[in-house]
Amino acid sequence: MTAPVNPGALAAGTGIAWDTWLRLLDPFSSENHARLAEEAQALIRAQGKSDNPAWWAQSVAVAYEQHLGRRVPGQQQDGSFAISLSRTLPGSPEKWLEQWQKLADARRTHREAAATGMPRVSRTAKWVYWRLALSDGTRVVFSIQPKPGNNAALTLRHERILSQGEAALWRNYWKECINAL
């Protein structure tokens, strides 16, 4: 299961304690996510202690929505769920892409959801991406980034999952896949 947003991390990233966030955002409790994030970003910028106010504002808005009971951990703004897993392993991104492709090719379906086409691979200067759409309407993005010391950071994100229970099942499935690399 996805953990709730960590209030300590929010305080460290924004310079504003969680109990203060609650007091500052309570007048906006009936507003939508975008408005909460906008207000949070203005407050973070005014504090001047964050190097990424927009990112932290989104985290604050999500945490506040969880506090209000509008969404549960892992739930996206549209009501769907997403899970993310990450791991750093020794070796190059290309090595891990090859290993991932072998593993994925060996499995024609993933938890009874078939691929709705071929996986797509793309690259940027820093990242390698492997994307796959599944027959249940969900999609998977496996990304790999080089790290110092000939290591690679692997991240898997599975989006558009319909329920929190399904998200937990997918998390376990993808953990097993990553552990099999």
- List the domain range (segments joined by +) for residue 123: 81-179
166 φ, ψ to 5°? -65, -40
Looking at the fold, whether 133 and 48 belong to one and the same domain comes out as no
User: How far, in Å, are 130, 133, 172 from residue 138 at the CA level?
Assistant: 14, 6, 16
Where is the domain boundary, 68, 93, 109? 68
With a cut of 50, which residues of the chain have pLDDT below it?
none
26 inside domain:
yes
Q: Is 167 exposed, middle or buried (0-12, 13-18, 19+ CB in 10 A)?
A: buried
156 inside domain:
yes
pLDDT of residue 5: 80
Looking at the fold, whether 62 and 86 belong to one and the same domain comes out as no
What global pTM score does this model have?
Answer: 0.79
pLDDT in tens, 109-158: 999 999 999 999 999 999 999 999 999 999 999 999 999 999 999 999 99
160: left (phi over 0), alpha (psi -120 to 50) or beta: left
Looking at the fold, whether 150 and 114 belong to one and the same domain comes out as yes
Report the C-alpha gap between 75 and 68 in whole angstroms. Answer: 14
CB atoms near residue 100 (< 10 Å): 21
Where is the domain boundary, 68, 100, 118? 68
Q: How many domains is the chain built from?
A: 2
Looking at the fold, whether 29 and 97 belong to one and the same domain comes out as no
Looking at the fold, whether 26 and 86 belong to one and the same domain comes out as no
- Average model confidence (pLDDT) across the chain: 94
